[in-house]
Each structure stands twice: as C-alpha cells, then as structure tokens.
Amino acid sequence: MYRDAPMPSKKKTPEPVAETSWTFFTNHSHVLLCLAADDSLRVRDLAEKVGITERAVLKILADLATGGVIERERDGRRNRYSVQFDAPLRHHLEAHRTVGDLVAAVHSGKRR
C-alpha cells in the first residue's frame, strides 16, 4: 500500500430521513378523508392522492365497507362510495367519536 493513497473512510454519512417516513394517519384514514372530500373519486384517483397502489386502495375500500364506514353503490360501470359519518371510530381510545368527527377535525378550516 502506498503512503499517498487515501485511507477508506469507515464512517458512513447517515441517510436523511424521508419526510414521508411516517404519518399520524393510516392509509385507511387517508382514503376515507379523500372520499369525504370528493365521493366521485375513482380507485385510480384515490391511489394517486394517497400514494399507494390501486390494489391497496381496493383492499382498503373493502375493509371500510365491511366495517360499515362506507357504503358502495353501483353507478353504471363505476362504484360510488358514500361515507357513513355516524359510524363510530374503531379503536377503543377513540370509539366515543364518529367518522364525522374525524372528517370535521381534518377538513375544518381547509382552504380549497
């Protein structure tokens, strides 16, 4: 080894943490909030807004429908989803609140 050759550095620069590494809400709540704002969104639109695949959106929509949080209605070749604002939130810590309370908390004062 030559004396002039630089020694390899053993320290690695830490990778910056991505801004989207975690969020306060789940993808389920993101899909729900998007539908509450615009019930005409297609699966493709929801996937793009939330940043997940269309397949993941379909699973979430099925979960929300099974849980009674949304209702699915056929409209020609499309499905329309209506949010059930009176449905209680599912976790015991927030079960005293409704879907409508969540939507109101997030969407109130939102500039369009």
Where do the domains of the chain lie? Answer: 27-107
Q: Which of 49, 1, 55 is nearest to 29 (CA)?
A: 49
Q: Which amino acid is at 85?
A: F
Tell me: pLDDT of 43 over 80. yes
Tell me: pLDDT of 17 over 60. no
pTM given for the model: 0.77
| Residue 45 vs residue 6, higher pLDDT | 45
The C-alpha atoms of residue 110 and residue 112 are separated, in whole angstroms, by 6
Question: Do 86 and 69 form a contact (C-beta atoms < 8 A)?
Answer: no
pLDDT score, position 111:
47
Cβ neighbours of 70 (radius 10 Å): 25
CATH 1.10.10.10 given to domain 27-107: yes
